[in-house]
Amino acid sequence: MDQLIKAIIDKQSVAVVGLDTAFDYLPEGMRQNVTRASEAAESILEFNLNVINAVKDLAPAVKVQIAYYEMYGVEGLMAFRETVRYARKAGLVVMADAKRNDIGSTAECYAKAFLGKSKINDLTFEPFGADILTVNGYLGVDGIKPFLDVMRDRDKGIFVLVKTSNPSSGQLQNLVLQDGRTVFECMGDLVEEWGSDNIGAYGYSKVGAVVGATHPVEAATLRKRLPHTFFLIPGYGAQGGTADDLAVSFDERGLGGAVNNSRGILLAYRKERYQGQKYYEAARNALTDMQQDIARALRNKGINRIGE
């Protein structure tokens, strides 16, 4: 997690570019004449690489949502793998947004797949090789421990779903327990506990929490409650979360969270504001607009420089 926080400070930006690249998001010219899944995957990869090149000096990280690649089968997953590789080589921190979860022995496989290495006889390799993975904690600590084991002595991280950005997230997450806590607060407390042995240079652990920008009241509660837990904040833009909504998730140094935006950046080229721009130029400009919007909200909190 420290490398993410360092990148945020270096680039003075908490804005993460979400590469949730559906084939339909591509400009018409990149979709024409595509008749196979493998060709679609190549077009998606080309789109991603151009976006990565356009944002790599500005963004600390990209978040690659694997569902959009699984939708195109094995061919799509090749584009996922190559996107992750390219983004890491470009110096970006790479989050695999896969929300994986299972019993211990199976979670161990996921930990190897996304954050660690697999072994076949004398061959050792990184199957997908991301820096950070999103996970779902419904199964309790058994399903988390394999990730902690893989992260030991490595600068990797996980974000556990705590309070998600979608409208129905409260259906389970906001229920109140007999001890007065909500389910999401309980999950948050578990996350803080799971990370307690792994606190890094900036005071945040390797075990972060997903806390949606669309629920500012819950986010404010969690920020106070979980002092060592870094937040991945989805829901800005297309989902309705504003910069002022998500400002509550940051500490007095402007640290404590990274804000994802996917559709707002990838599809910027279709908006009037960025008319006439290439998709990757529009992506870069939409990212800059987002950064300025968040910087303004942080200034309103008295934060002029991130990390100080």
Q: Which of residues 205-244 bind a copy of itself (CB under 8 A)?
A: 234, 239
Distance CA 226, CA 190 (A): 10
> Is residue 140 a contact residue for a copy of itself (CB under 8 A)?
yes
Sequence-distant (≥ 6) Cβ neighbours of residue 130 within 8 angstroms:
64, 84, 94, 95, 96, 114, 115
**Does residue number 265 form part of the binding site for a copy of itself (CB under 8 A)?**
no
22 in contact with a copy of itself (CB under 8 A): yes
Minimum Å gap between C-beta 75 and a copy of itself is 9
Among 120, 272, 275, 302, binds a copy of itself (CB under 8 A): 120
77 binding a copy of itself? (CB under 8 A): yes
Stretch that binds a copy of itself, among 55-63, 172-180, 250-258, 270-278 (CB under 8 A): 172-180
**Interacting stretch for a copy of itself, rule CB under 8 A, among 73-81, 151-159, 246-254, 266-274?**
73-81
**176 near a copy of itself, judged by CB under 8 A:** yes
The CA distance from 57 to 98, in Å, is 25
CB nearer to a copy of itself: pick between 119 and 152: 119
Residue 235 region, left (φ>0) first, then alpha (ψ -120 to 50), else beta? left
Which of 55-63, 76-84, 87-95, 282-290 is the region at the interface with a copy of itself (rule: CB under 8 A)?
A: 76-84
Q: Say how many residues touch a copy of itself, by CB under 8 A.
A: 71
Nearest distance, CB of residue 224 and a copy of itself, angstroms? 21
Alpha-carbon Rg of the chain, whole angstroms?
19
* Least Cβ distance, residue 69 to a copy of itself (angstroms): 9
Distance CA 175, CA 187 (A): 12
Question: How many angstroms separate the CA atoms of 135 and 180, rounded?
Answer: 25
Contact 19, 65 (CB under 8 A): yes
The answer to whether 175 contacts a copy of itself (rule: CB under 8 A) is yes
Site for a copy of itself in 52-71 (CB under 8 A): 65, 67-68, 70-71
Among 123, 153, 201, 302, binds a copy of itself (CB under 8 A): 123
CB atoms within 10 A of CB 240: 13
141 part of the interface to a copy of itself, by CB under 8 A: yes
- Torsion, Cα 11 254 149 151, to 10 degrees, reads 10
CA dihedral sign of residues 279, 95, 116, 106: negative
Q: In this chain, which of 13, 61, 63, 76 binds a copy of itself, going by CB under 8 A?
A: 76
Would you please indicate which residues are annotated as catalytic (active-site) residues? 99
Instruction: For residues 303 and 308, give the distance between their C-alpha atoms in angstroms, rounded to a whole number.
Output: 8
